[in-house]
Amino acid sequence: MIGETTASGILAKSGLKGNKPDLETHALEYLENGPILVRELHHELGKQTRVDAWDVTKMVLRLVEQGRAELTDAPPAAKSFKEYLGMWDENLWLYFSVGITSISFLASLWVSTNSLLVAFRWIAGCALVLFAPGYVIVEALFPNKAKLDQVMRCALSIGLSLVLVMIVGLLLSYTAEGITMIPTITALTVLMAGLVSVALVRKYRHLTA
């Protein structure tokens, strides 16, 4: 977080040429309104000019070195679990997982293979079987997004989902009902509920640590 500072005097001191004074000027204008996260600063600056996160980070560090801004740790983003659940951008994975599981559960039960809506069942079912379980495990194992890039997250999600679904099917085949519709979709829903709970706790702990 960048501490409060005044814009006057800083502009007079800067004397840089080219794009840098513009970027810094804009940044300092935002700082006049109070502390702001570096990520949010990048977002705000991005509205006016095309700039990448690395440039903003370098600029902030430069301002801190020059004593024109202050950098401190951000407070925990959520004070309670309830508040955490309401954080939209942190919980997209949660909404996706719950949404896909619910849609697939309902579609499997109510959309027959002859129905016009069967395409929804195909898509939601494929997402549930081939992606969602692994995706939730990856979120639980790597709560820090920076630790694993998107492609590897996606690949791991698919790989882990395949294995989990095979194990679930294997266990189901030893039950009296076997691999039939209701036991299968129920088992997958229960699995998802368990995995989502674990992932939720781990991500919340990571965020508040």
Partner 1 sequence: MMAEVSTTPWTLFIILCTLLPAVSACASYAGFSQLSLWVFLAIALSFFVVALRKSASDNSLMWLVFCFSLSLIFSSTFLSSNLPGGNDIVEEYRLFLQISQTHHWVSPPFAQVTGSLYGSVISITVLPTVIATVTGLAGLTVFTIVIPLLYSITPVILYKIYRTILSPRDAFLSAIMFMSYPVFYTTLLGVAREMIAQVLLVILIALMLSSRASALASIILTFGLVISHYSLAFVYIGIVMFSFLIGRITRSRIETPIRSAMLAVVATIAWFAFVGGGATLVTLTQAMSRVLSGIGSNFFGGPRPTEVMAAIGAVQGQQGILHTVNKATQYVVQIFLVLGFAVLAFKRRKTLGERRILPLMTFAMAFLVASVALPFLAATLNLPRIYNISLLFLAPCLVIGVESLEQFRKLKTFQYPFTWRLRFHFPTKQVVVAVILCSYLLFTSGWAWSVSMDRIPTSPIFDSSRMRNSTDITLKSEYFTVFITTPDIAAARWISQHQRPDHVICSDVVAQDDVLTAYGEYPSGGSGTVLPYCNPNSYVYLGEFNTAYGYYRYATAQQAIVTPGSRYQIPEMLTPYDRIFSGDAAIYCGVTE
Q: Which residues bind partner 1 (CB under 8 A)?
A: 19, 49-52, 55, 104, 108, 111-113, 118, 121-122, 125-126, 128-130, 137-138, 141-142, 147-148, 151-152, 154-156, 158-160, 162-170, 172-174, 177-181, 184-185, 188
Of 209, 9, 192, which Cα lies nearest the Cα of 101?
A: 192
Q: Which amino acid is at 122?
A: W
Neighbours of 23 (CB within 10 A): 18
Rounded to a whole number of angstroms, the minimum distance from the CB of residue 196 to partner 1 is 17
Rounded to a whole number of angstroms, the minimum distance from the CB of residue 174 to partner 1 is 8
CA 33 to chain centre: 28
**Residue 121: Cβ-neighbour burial (10 angstroms; 0-12, 13-18, 19+):** buried
Rounded to a whole number of angstroms, the minimum distance from the CB of residue 9 to partner 1 is 26
204: tokens are 């919340």
Rounded to a whole number of angstroms, the minimum distance from the CB of residue 154 to partner 1 is 8
Whichever of 84 and 157 has its CB closer to partner 1, that residue is 157
197: tokens are 């709970």
Residue 200 to residue 20: CA distance in whole angstroms: 41
Rounded to a whole number of angstroms, the minimum distance from the CB of residue 156 to partner 1 is 6
Whichever of 50 and 82 has its CB closer to partner 1, that residue is 50
Whichever of 79 and 206 has its CB closer to partner 1, that residue is 206
Q: Inter-axis angle of helices 181-208 and 92-110, to 10 degrees?
A: 170
Whichever of 84 and 133 has its CB closer to partner 1, that residue is 133
What 79-87 contacts at long range (C-beta under 8 Å, 24+ apart), as own/partner pairs, is 81/204, 84/204, 84/207, 84/208
β partners of residue 36 = 2
208: tokens are 């508040």
Whichever of 98 and 141 has its CB closer to partner 1, that residue is 141
Rounded to a whole number of angstroms, the minimum distance from the CB of residue 3 to partner 1 is 25
Whichever of 21 and 178 has its CB closer to partner 1, that residue is 178
